[in-house]
Amino acid sequence: MRNRLLVTAIAVCALLAGCTTPVDGRGSAQPGTVGPTGRTLSTPSADGPLTRAPETPDATTSRSTTTTADPTSTSSPTVASPAPTGTTQPPPSTDDTPTVPDVLLGPVVLTPGPEGYLVFQAPSGNIFCSLNGVEGAAGVRCDLIEADYPDLAPVPCDSGDFVAGTATLDGNGTAVVGGCVSDTVIDPNAVVLPYGSNAGAGDLVCHAAEDGVTCADLGSGHGFQVARGAHRVF
């Protein structure tokens, strides 16, 4: 009687729970059941062992490692300074002082005597100069026996006559060629200043050369050059 009740109970259990009890006492999972780890077990093949479905990555352990920029950052990108496009040139010189000819910077071989002035002539015998070194009256005057200066037109004179072949340089550095004169510095007995030599009194220096006589004030740089057929002031 007890055996029948046991068989009936097992049958009812099988019908209600859908489970069977194998002979060896181990339960077998039915298709679509959930395993002890919470994963769905795949349906076993008729002749193969039970296999697990591929595991889905755990959402809690899969995290993005992409680094994003901090929108609150205040740092600015470094901008390279532009390379210079050129070299700055110095401003032009405003010094209008003329350059004294180098020949006037050589040694002086003739100077005024005790009276303070000197008269000399060029070796050509055509140019005569008076060099005055007296303070307050310093200056140079040169007269030419022959001077071909057609560019110098005569001007009316209050005293004396206009002479083209005369040049003066005062102690202030003002040089002029041509002017009104009533006397002359031409003296056939004047000492000869050799070519390539200098005569001077203080800052006033004259140089004799085959192309004429050049006189200048070394302080101001101004002066003149005269010859038979040419003249200039600087």
Instruction: Output the pLDDT for position 124.
Output: 97
Using the predicted structure, report yes or no on whether residue 62 has a pLDDT greater than 70: no
Residue 9 placed within a domain = no
Residue 161 placed within a domain = yes
pLDDT band at 96; cut points 50, 70, 90: low
Sequence-separated (6 or more) residues with CB below 8 Å from residue 84? none
Instruction: Output the pLDDT for position 204.
Output: 96
What domain range includes position 118? 102-233
Instruction: Output the pLDDT for position 99.
Output: 86
Residue 48 placed within a domain = no
CA-CA distance, 234 to 227, in Å (whole number)? 15
The partner residues of 41 in beta bridges, in order of sequence, read 52
Instruction: Output the pLDDT for position 9.
Output: 54
Residue 184 placed within a domain = yes
Using the predicted structure, report yes or no on whether residue 214 has a pLDDT greater than 70: yes
Residue 59 placed within a domain = no
Q: Record the pTM.
A: 0.59
Residue 21 placed within a domain = no
Residue 129 placed within a domain = yes
Residue 37 placed within a domain = no
For residue 24, give both structure tokens: 């060896």
CA-CA distance, 232 to 176, in Å (whole number)? 9
Q: 73-77, 120-124, 181-185: lowest mean pLDDT where?
A: 73-77
pLDDT digits (tens, 9 = 90+) for 130-140: 999 898 889 99
> What is the chain's mean pLDDT, rounded?
75
Instruction: Output the pLDDT for position 66.
Output: 44
pLDDT band at 197; cut points 50, 70, 90: very high
Number of domain units in the chain: 1
